[in-house]
Amino acid sequence: MKLVDLTRPLDPRDIEKFPENRRSAVATMVPEIEYQRPGFEGAEAVCAAFACQKRDLPGGEGWGAERLHINTHLGTHVDAPLHYGSICEGKPARTITDISLEELYVDALVLDLRGLVKPAEGIQIEALKTAIANNGAPITLGCALMLRTGQEAYDFGDPEFFQYPGMTRQGTLFLAGTGAKILCTDAMGW
């Protein structure tokens, strides 16, 4: 099995990559980080925690740490059913803490849609069928279908970042009807 690392560094300066007129709308995609430097804020925190003085610390330093304020939509993430409303299938919608890791550890297929979809347009069922056929592997019950639209080529500052191919209602229903239980995209939104 090949593992693919989808992570990227959290950097509060990423907000500067977005166009000025979009910054307030995309603030959820950028963390706020309070840095605790060992010789400064970290030393103060250690002194407060252990009732000591800075002179008592080796080299006058405490720990280095970061305090993060992030949105659940920052980076690679899972949308819990609660994201879409408080009721799901007639019951209270599950939160992310209601979803076990075992539910997310499933077989997966990448549907390569590059060349089959266009920026800022809906992904059509025919493109999905072509990508499934090109993959050659069967879709298994409960698997994850991961859409590769080519959006990984764009960073926050690129105008194309916001021009991603988006999933249509019909396409979503088609994919859900295959038996897949997890649907993923490389784009900013579904």
pLDDT digits (tens, 9 = 90+) for 167-188: 999 999 999 999 999 999 999 8
φ, ψ at 122 (rounded to 5°): -75, 145
φ, ψ at 166 (rounded to 5°): -110, 150
CA atoms of 19 and 22, how far apart (whole Å): 5
| pLDDT recorded at residue 1 | 66
Q: Which tops the pLDDT comparison, 5 or 11?
A: 11
| Residue 133 CB neighbours (<10 A) | 8
CA atoms of 63 and 15, how far apart (whole Å): 27
Asked if residues 74 and 10 have their Cβ atoms less than 8 Å apart, the reply is yes
Q: How far is CA 96 from CA 26, 100, 175, 185, in A?
A: 22, 8, 22, 18
Asked if residues 75 and 8 have their Cβ atoms less than 8 Å apart, the reply is yes
Q: Which tops the pLDDT comparison, 5 or 134?
A: 134
| Residue 55 CB neighbours (<10 A) | 7
* Per-residue pLDDT reduced to its tens digit, 9-30: 788 999 998 888 888 878 788 8
Q: How far is CA 99 from CA 41, 79, 105, 169, 175, in A?
A: 36, 10, 11, 24, 21
Percent of the chain with pLDDT over 90: 65
* Per-residue pLDDT reduced to its tens digit, 69-107: 888 777 778 888 998 899 999 999 999 899 998 898 999
CA atoms of 176 and 152, how far apart (whole Å): 24
